[in-house]
Structure 1
Amino acid sequence: MKSKTEFKHEALLDPADIQDLLKSISKGLGKGRLEFSDDKGTLSLDPQGLLYLKVTASEEDDRQQFDIKVRWEKKPKALSKKPPKIES
């Protein structure tokens, strides 16, 4: 059975506070451990190996935004290290 644990937090912050949060995320990635917490709970993540990164930015009318998405597999799939044989 698959399980899903989620941490979600929304707030209005100034750019300096967001910069501090991004620095904390960067530091956690370097250590291989991220811990997200607030008064509703805690979620610990262990990023390791190659990570998938997606960065998007957009502008519409008076709204601008950017999103950063990082994901990884807890148990990466074993892939062959040999190239396939292709005949022509």
Structure 2
Amino acid sequence: MAATDGKFRHESLQDRKSIKALLEAITKGIGKGELTLSEGDDCLTLPLDQLMTLRVKADRSDGTCRVDLRISWSERQTDLAERPAPTVK
């Protein structure tokens, strides 16, 4: 299957239980090696690699709390790993 580029964005007000369920679904997708995100007709499927970068940031300021999670990876990582190391002379 050919990969298609695209973007998915969603923002809404949710309670803790709903957010927990969403994070569990993301965890399940990571476990099976593929994430599919959808809302209405908007759908994006992301194949996952073995190595991913995880970034966690948190802050609290003036009564506002925030946690940012970012998981990123390259679909070409396998191709890059198979390339020989450069030679330096």
Q: Same fold (TM over 0.5)?
A: yes
Match of 1:8 in 2: 9
2:6 maps to a residue whose letter is T
The TM-score, its normalising length taken from structure 1, stands at 0.82
The TM-score, its normalising length taken from structure 2, stands at 0.81
Encode CA deviations 1:46-68: one digit per residue, 9 max, x unaligned. 11120000000001101001010
Partners of 2:22 and 2:15 in 1: how far apart?
Answer: 11
CA RMSD between the two structures: 2.0
Number of residue equivalences: 81
Residue 40 of structure 1 and its aligned partner are, at CA, apart by 4.5
Identity of paired residues, percent?
32
Q: 1:9 to 1:21 in 2, by over 3 A?
A: same
Partners of 2:11 and 2:41 in 1: how far apart?
Answer: 12
Q: Which structure has the larger Rg?
A: 1
Match of 2:71 in 1: 70
Give SS of 2:14's match: coil
Unaligned runs of 5+ in 1: none
Unaligned runs of 5+ in 2: none
**Which runs of 4 or more aligned residues in structure 1 lie more than 6 Å from their structure 2 counterparts after TM superposition?**
none
2:44 maps to a residue whose letter is L
Partners of 2:50 and 2:23 in 1: how far apart?
Answer: 20
Residue 15 of structure 1 and its aligned partner are, at CA, apart by 0.3
Greater helix share, structure number = 2
